[in-house]
Chains A and B, each alone.
Chain A
Amino acid sequence: MCADSAEGVQQWWLRPAGFEVSLDLVVAGLRVLEGEGVVECRRLGTREIWRLRRGGD
């Protein structure tokens, strides 16, 4: 049920888990996962929010 921007994913999902990667790589990875139907991107105002694809698992 969680969702956050790419910066949030980088800083608060990946970093504490030991993954230290640049923001560009995080976005690229999220786009790949979006293509695979794992996550989905919601454009809210000026920001993009990422979350697990709902109903897609």
Chain B
Amino acid sequence: MGNIAGPGSRMELKDAMPRTGGVMVDIAESNLLGSSPQFAHVIAQIRRIAKFDVTVLIGGETGTGKELGARAVHYLSARASRPFIAVNCGALADSLVESELFGHERGAFTDARQASPGLVSEAEGGTLFLDEIDTLSPKAQASLLRFLQDGTYRRVGGTQTRTTDVRMIAASNANLDEMVKARQFRRDLLYRLKVMPLVMPPLRERGGDVLELAEAFLTRLNRQYGAQTSRKCFDPAFLASLQRYSWPGNVRELEHFVQREYLMCEGQVILGGPPQDLAQAPVQAGDDAAFKQAKARAIADFERSYVASAMARARGNITQAARMAGQDRSAFSKLVSKYRLASVVGQEQDSGE
């Protein structure tokens, strides 16, 4: 654990804790990565929103960083030294949403052996982040609306009306306006949540941020794994391939992709082709260049799929996979390297032969 768990770690952890007053000047810059005009606009919005203690509704596709945006609002606000409590509404059992949010008294229901304060109380003074707000049941929506209207709530099974000081940030990748039209989401709740709307843009609309983010993720990986592996860098062709891809899974997909390529890369240069893009332009007849590109892509897709299948059946053993494919081991090994399909297990098995 290095610095964190070693002697003196308590002081270091305490020192690292967020506080107001401008001590940690890079708190936003170190997490909000990207300099495209689209993302710069979002950062400016976040900084502005953070100043005002109002409810925020964050939209955006999956993987765009809605929770990151919520934390940025919290840690740039006057509530930074108070709790940030994130809740995935979709992961809460429908029958327990109210007791999870607002707590319950002892004996309120069968399993309530002791009283629980609830998430709203845990977030006292800070921020409560409700992700996947669209999954709340009508009953839970009504309870949340009541709380947003006057800041009061009652524990399940309780009679005492309680108050708390919490900033609410909600997020959803669903179209809540459409859900209101379909009577699946309360209009009055949407208006209460939408005091400050914030939309995280998809990565495909953020231009050069793809490369900036990839480099930032690589820098972090080099720091995290520097003691275990050699420092790595990207091959220019690899970077070019990142820009050609549409990243339907957005920043999360890019981060996981870079991490996977980093951990699977044995050398110092991360090579390889682009991920298969589902958003490729259709090939136009009569275009020789397009035909050649499409043919090369089809061959590459077939090779990758065939080699991956053979490697899986051979449990990562290159020699056995080559034999099954009726290929020379050396030639097959080159294909494995080309498509970066060798697993650590496979290499270990092969080296032991």
Q: Is B125 an interface residue (CB 8 A)?
A: yes
Q: Is B91 an interface residue (CB 8 A)?
A: yes
Instruction: For B81, list chain A residues within 8 Å (CB).
Output: 1-2
CA–CA, A12 and B341, complex, Å: 35
Closest Cβ of chain B to A3, distance in Å, is: 4
The number of chain B residues touching the other chain, given as a range, is: 35 or more
Tell me the nearest residue of chain B to A3, going by C-beta. Answer: B83
Instruction: For A1, list chain B residues within 8 Å (CB).
Output: 81-83, 125-126
Q: Is A52 an interface residue (CB 8 A)?
A: yes
Judge whether A15 and B30 touch: CB under 8 Å. Answer: yes
Q: Is B92 an interface residue (CB 8 A)?
A: yes
A32 in contact with B71 given A13-B16, A47-B87, A49-B85 (CB within 8 Å): no
Q: Is B5 an interface residue (CB 8 A)?
A: yes
Instruction: For A39, list chain B residues within 8 Å (CB).
Output: 13
Report the count of interface residues on A (CB-CB < 8 A). Answer: 34
Partner pick for B92 among A19, A42, A45, CB 8 A cutoff:
A45
Judge whether B9 and A33 touch: CB under 8 Å. Answer: yes
Tell me the nearest residue of chain A to B91, going by C-beta. Answer: A46
CA–CA, A36 and B11, complex, Å: 13
Q: Is B279 an interface residue (CB 8 A)?
A: no
Interface residue ranges of B5-51 to A (CB < 8 Å): 5, 9-10, 12-18, 24, 26-27, 30-31
Instruction: For B100, list chain A residues within 8 Å (CB).
Output: 44-45
A16-B31, A19-B4, A29-B13 known; 20 other A-B pairs, CB under 8 Å? A1-B126, A2-B18, A2-B81, A4-B71, A4-B84, A12-B18, A12-B71, A13-B18, A14-B16, A15-B31, A19-B16, A25-B2, A25-B224, A29-B9, A32-B5, A39-B13, A44-B87, A44-B100, A45-B119, A49-B83
Question: What are 20 A-B contacts with C-beta separation under 8 Å?
Answer: A2-B80, A2-B84, A3-B122, A8-B84, A12-B31, A12-B75, A13-B16, A13-B17, A13-B18, A17-B24, A19-B12, A21-B2, A22-B225, A25-B2, A29-B1, A29-B4, A45-B87, A45-B88, A51-B83, A52-B14
| Closest 9 A/B residue pairs (Cβ) | A29-B4, A3-B83, A17-B16, A20-B223, A16-B27, A29-B1, A32-B5, A16-B24, A29-B5
